[in-house]
Amino acid sequence: MELKTYVCPNCGANTTNAQNCEYCGSLLVRFVEKGIDVKSISYLNSNDWVFPGLIENLQKNLQLQADNPEGTDVRTDICGGEVYISVFSPAGKLWTWDDGTVIDFTSTNRGLLIILTFYDVVYQENKGFRTSQMQRPSKYMSKLLRQDSYKRNFKDLEMYPIFMSREYAEDFEFSNGYETHKESFIKTSISYAIDFGQDAEGAARLISRILLKVYGVSRQNNGIRITTNAGALDIEKAAKENNSIYTGIDKDFDSEMNKKSNEAFIYNIIGIIVVIFSVIVSFVGC
């Protein structure tokens, strides 16, 4: 069988790999394979503005992959507020979908695997039961539901059709341990992943586009932090230090729920005082 060849729009080489150019690793050949003229994809313009430090971090990511033993995890985190984008090394083990299955990337050695996830948390009206008035998940819910708009923005991107995606849903319950408060939620996530090969500049342009168009981050906003680390321990440490979406959501969730638990606690105390008071009254009544 004769192999089809494509001219790589990034380096100009003839490549038979329609996923990532076998010479420069660029994924632009995917557009060629689909018959899309890359000149029509505006963000691919090499003059496109990129967030400061992004190209350097992605180059550092590739360099760390080369410098470290095979199998070492390398990750670049781009986060701040509700933004959480990760760029993984293909040799590492950290890249899985939310359901725990390994993402089927095509890279065999070095590369930039970009992954981002949007969450929705929905209160299960029928399943959850509430026994007092103070259990409306309003503030928490309205914050989380905002990721729905990010999802819509993402689908408007020119790049959207060549991302892999996976949806995941899980139930979770919250109880304050007093049986006065129990709620049921369903958390759904949709993750998007792409193997960007070794094209650090192209990946930086794509990520900048996502920050601007999907998350609405302004060019002046330096609330976005970019860190690149190698080795599971350093990566974990950096993730904790970063204001990631995970810790951000958990923090809000915890503080909201603690507030509710405190309210529940106060109501319980009031209840106990009322009981003691009525016992005293009944004794006095004798």
Closer residue to Zn ion (CB): 38 or 157: 38
Binding range to Zn ion, per CB under 5 A, among 2-10, 127-135, 167-175, 278-286: 2-10
CB of 115 to Zn ion, least distance (A): 23
**CB nearer Zn ion, residue 38 or residue 94:** 38
**Can residue 62 be called a binding residue for Zn ion (CB under 5 A)?**
no
| 11 touches Zn ion (CB under 5 A) | yes
User: In this chain, which of 6, 8, 62, 235 binds Zn ion, going by CB under 5 A?
Assistant: 8
Q: How many binding residues for Zn ion (CB under 5 A)?
A: 8
Position 17 contacts Zn ion (CB under 5 A): no
Residues 20-59 that bind Zn ion (CB under 5 A): 21, 23-24, 26
> Restricting to residues 75-134, which ones interact with Zn ion according to CB under 5 A?
none
Of 52, 51, 116, 62, nearest to 86 by C-alpha is: 116
Nearest distance in Å: CB 218, Zn ion: 33
CB of 145 to Zn ion, least distance (A): 41
Binding site residues, Zn ion, CB under 5 A: 8, 10-11, 13, 21, 23-24, 26
